[in-house]
């Protein structure tokens, strides 16, 4: 089926004459359709031009960078290159917290107005305020639209979103028309992860959506509950996730129970959409037209294909609050060029934050290899989370439907201990609930060792 954009002119249906706001979005889409097939070198050339403009703006009007880049060569010269750009020191979240206000530009171009706040709460408590503009918002919407087009969604379908809702916003947008911007599309309905899984399932059955967008952990809980109750989620034609790690186990669960494939989006509140899942594969394409992404090893050198490193981003168009080489705290594995032919760089897998790494008694850090669902299967366990408290001890929090009998507890204890190579003392702790982080994420494993 051909999707014709929404037309705004009286009596004109095809080809559409879109409203100016939508026309901008479609003009961007036209360029994105082409740029995705550019070679990596061509993409870098364009990124370099955009970075030069952004860095110059930051040097001229952002107090933090006026100071940080004062001994730097004047980057507003023809010799600017990505190699020069990569000499800019990496920006830590703590620096952004400490001098938050100094990141605001005093000379925001008028055509970037209005601005809006993208508050992020931050796992360590101290909030970081990030300002976005009309331009960053436009790019966010453009990559969203690209995602719908890449995955050939049926625009007339109904989309259900289940995520953390703040009261006021939720009531305003709980039900609205049109989830695909610039095109005629179906209804979008929203629900709150604060409701029980049971309530969420009931709501889905009332709404009968074609598409569902939610956090991976919430999706997993929904499917498991639906299975135990014999409920079906059969109205769904597509499943999308965001905000947390999508494990191969979860992909498998969705494949087996719903005969669908998860389409995941890698985004961050302070950086926008970073990467979208390839239409032909399970890995991700960096959205190079909106963001410059580096995956760096411990020596701050770029990782090669197959290596895991820290994600460092530079959003290309945020002139209200430029962030140059900002380390967002995630880790990712670099991929090879994609057989689909797109030149947009590939990330094989996105890993959680650094605090999701395990610290061995020797002080070495590794990614823990356990599969949480294997533990959860060993008893009437509803939720489970492991927290490393020090180099020798791991506390495992459990939400249970009934008390475990002795043998269940003993086997569970033994299995967890083995999964950590018997290197840690394991404490089981029964709790009423395991809350999400304030950013809406639910983490399998948290390391509290500094």
Q: In this complex, which beta carbon is closest to Zn ion, that of residue 280 or of residue 365?
A: 280
Q: In this complex, which beta carbon is closest to Zn ion, that of residue 201 or of residue 332?
A: 332
Give the shortest CB-204-to-Zn ion separation in angstroms.
31
Q: In this complex, which beta carbon is closest to Zn ion, that of residue 15 or of residue 341?
A: 341
Residue 136: name the closest of 320, 297, 360, 345 by CA: 320
Q: What is the chain's length?
A: 450
Look-up of token digits 């979103």: 161
Residues 88-107 that bind Zn ion (CB under 5 A): none
Give the shortest CB-435-to-Zn ion separation in angstroms.
36
Q: In this complex, which beta carbon is closest to Zn ion, that of residue 4 or of residue 152?
A: 152
Give the shortest CB-146-to-Zn ion separation in angstroms.
13
Handedness of CA 232, 235, 237, 242 (dihedral sign): negative
Binding mask 267-296 for Zn ion (x = CB under 5 A): -----------x------------------
Give the shortest CB-148-to-Zn ion separation in angstroms.
16
Is 263 among the residues that bind Zn ion (CB under 5 A)? no
Give the shortest CB-278-to-Zn ion separation in angstroms.
3
Q: Which residues contact 214 (CB under 8 A, 6 or more apart)?
A: 161, 162, 163, 193, 222, 241
Computed over its alpha carbons, how large is the radius of gyration of the chain?
Answer: 23
Please, are residues 298 and 116 in contact by the beta-carbon 8 Å criterion? no
Q: In this complex, which beta carbon is closest to Zn ion, that of residue 68 or of residue 342?
A: 342
Residues 324-353 that bind Zn ion (CB under 5 A): 338, 340, 342
Query: Binding-site residue total for Zn ion (CB under 5 A)?
Result: 4
Distances (CA, A) of 104 to 119, 249, 419: 14, 42, 47
Distance between CA atoms of 136 and 134, rounded to whole angstroms?
6
Give the shortest CB-384-to-Zn ion separation in angstroms.
35
Torsion (CA) 244, 246, 450, 389 in degrees, nearest 10: 100
Which residues pair with residue 177 across a beta bridge?
A: 187
Q: In this complex, which beta carbon is closest to Zn ion, that of residue 54 or of residue 334?
A: 334
Which residues pair with residue 192 across a beta bridge?
A: 163
Q: In this complex, which beta carbon is closest to Zn ion, that of residue 335 or of residue 352?
A: 335
Give the shortest CB-332-to-Zn ion separation in angstroms.
16
Residues 184-213 that bind Zn ion (CB under 5 A): none
**DSSP labels, 375-435:** HHTTTTEEEEEEEEEETTEEEEEEEESSPPPHHHHHHHHHHHHHHTTT-SEEEEEE-S--P
Give the shortest CB-311-to-Zn ion separation in angstroms.
19
Q: In this complex, which beta carbon is closest to Zn ion, that of residue 338 or of residue 399?
A: 338
Positions touching Zn ion (CB under 5 A) are 278, 338, 340, 342
């Amino acid at each position: 089926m051909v999707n014709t954009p929404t037309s705004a002119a009286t009596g004109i249906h095809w080809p559409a004459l879109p409203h100016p706001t939508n026309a901008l979005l479609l003009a961007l889409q036209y360029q994105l359709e082409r740029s995705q097939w550019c070679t990596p070198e061509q993409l870098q050339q364009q990124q370099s031009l955009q970075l030069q403009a952004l860095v110059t703006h930051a040097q001229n009007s952002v107090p933090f960078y006026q100071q940080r880049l004062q001994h730097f060569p004047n980057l507003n010269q023809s010799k600017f290159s990505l190699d020069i750009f990569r000499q800019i020191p990496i920006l830590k979240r703590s620096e952004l917290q400490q001098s938050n206000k100094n990141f605001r530009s005093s000379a925001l171009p008028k055509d970037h107005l209005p601005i809006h706040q993208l508050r992020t709460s931050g796992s360590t408590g101290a909030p970081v305020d990030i300002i976005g503009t009309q331009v960053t918002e436009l790019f966010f919407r453009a990559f969203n639209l690209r995602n719908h087009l890449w995955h050939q969604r049926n625009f007339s379908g109904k989309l259900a979103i289940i995520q953390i809702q703040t009261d006021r916003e939720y009531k305003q947008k709980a039900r609205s028309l049109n989830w695909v911007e610039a095109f005629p599309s179906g209804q979008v309905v929203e629900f709150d992860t604060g409701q029980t899984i049971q309530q969420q399932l009931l709501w889905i059955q009332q709404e009968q959506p074609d598409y569902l967008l939610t956090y991976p952990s919430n999706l997993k809980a929904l499917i498991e509950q639906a299975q135990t109750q014999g409920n079906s989620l059969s109205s769904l034609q597509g499943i999308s996730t965001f905000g947390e790690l999508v494990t191969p186990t979860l992909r498998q669960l969705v494949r087996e129970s719903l005969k669908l494939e998860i389409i995941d989006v890698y985004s961050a509140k302070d950086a926008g959409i970073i990467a979208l899942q390839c239409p032909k594969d399970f890995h991700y394409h960096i959205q190079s037209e909106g963001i410059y992404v580096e995956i760096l090893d411990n020596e701050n050198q770029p990782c090669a294909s197959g290596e895991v490193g820290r994600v460092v981003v530079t959003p290309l168009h945020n002139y209200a609050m430029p962030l140059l080489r900002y380390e967002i705290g995630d880790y990712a594995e670099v991929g090879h060029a994609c057989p689909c032919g797109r030149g947009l760089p590939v990330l094989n897998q996105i890993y959680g934050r650094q605090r999701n790494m395990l610290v061995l008694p020797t002080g070495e850090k590794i990614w823990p290899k356990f599969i949480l669902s294997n533990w959860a299967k060993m008893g009437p366990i509803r939720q489970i989370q492991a927290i490393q408290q020090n180099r020798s001890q791991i506390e495992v929090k459990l939400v249970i439907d009934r008390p475990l009998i002795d043998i269940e507890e003993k086997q569970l204890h033994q299995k967890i201990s083995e999964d950590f190579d018997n290197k840690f003392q394991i404490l089981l702790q029964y709790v009423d609930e395991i809350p999400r982080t304030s950013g809406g994420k639910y983490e399998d494993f948290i390391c509290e060792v500094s």
